[in-house]
Amino acid sequence: MAAPVKVYGPPLSTAVSRVLACLLEKDVEFQLVPVNMAKGEHKKPDYLKIQPFGQVPAFQDESITIFESRAICRYICEKHADKGNKSLYSTNPLVKASIEQWLEAEGQSYNPPSSTLVFQLAFAPRVNIKQDEAQIKLNDQKLSKVLDIYDQRLESSRFLAGDEFTLADLSHLPNTHYLVTVGNRGEAFSSRKNVDRWWNEISSRDSWKKVVEMQKSK
């Protein structure tokens, strides 16, 4: 029997939690390896060997080492196509194309403003960094525009890529969770009818609830 895969990094990290959600959806056994970021462990030579940009997560499966959370998720889904949630990343080329499109949209359009806001609203205060009001305002506006587009899309589609919950939706979980809790941005989501429905549905999945529990206990 194969050894469990290894995920390096704290569950509190949005990118790490993206991978954890995917592993739980796919029912793939994993071992979480702590990386002490407060002590700069992620910038030390031993860690840089597996992630040259000094970021979390990193991932190992038997002899392969990979990084970049979305690449890790794709790998997990492709290797274990028949395990757990099979429609997470379809093998049908046309369905896959739609998933890829919205996964790219998440990475290119949703992630930049939402991760800036998560940093400014959730993490900066914790590490005594002064919040940048101008950045917050600018990114609130950008996020608003993206959510308008999402609301329109979700009017005619249950999930972003189609009728099923996929990697494209999953990828949004980490940043959005922080935005609606610590970040106090719940209204941006609840005030948009379809986004509200979608967020409530994806955030109440068992896999995501487990990830949130893991974040609380570390």
Report which DSSP code applies to 42: G
At its nearest, how many Å lie between another protein and the CB of residue 95?
A: 10
In the bound state with another protein, the residue whose beta carbon lies nearer, of 87 and 157, is 157
Q: Among 23, 28, 103, 118, which residue interacts with another protein (rule: CB under 8 A)?
A: 103
Q: Among 83, 86, 142, 153, which residue interacts with another protein (rule: CB under 8 A)?
A: 153
Q: Decide if residue 156 touches another protein (CB under 8 A).
A: no
Q: Among 93, 133, 206, 218, which residue interacts with another protein (rule: CB under 8 A)?
A: 93
Give me the numbers of helices (H) and strands (E) for the chain, helices first please. Answer: 11, 4
Q: Decide if residue 70 touches another protein (CB under 8 A).
A: yes
Q: Where are the alpha helices (DSSP H) in 154-182?
A: 167-170, 173-180
Q: Decide if residue 165 touches another protein (CB under 8 A).
A: no
Report which DSSP code applies to 40: T
Q: Which stretch binds another protein (CB under 8 A): 5-13, 30-38, 63-71, 131-139?
A: 63-71
Supply the DSSP string of 186-199, one letter for each residue.
Answer: HHHHHTSHHHHHHH
At residue 32's C-alpha, the angle toward residues 170 and 20, to 5°, is 5
| 58-61 sheet: strands from edge to edge | 30-33, 5-8, 58-61, 64-67
Report which DSSP code applies to 58: E
Binding site for another protein (CB under 8 A): 52-53, 64, 66-68, 70-71, 74-75, 78, 93-94, 96-98, 100-101, 103-105, 107-109, 149, 152-153
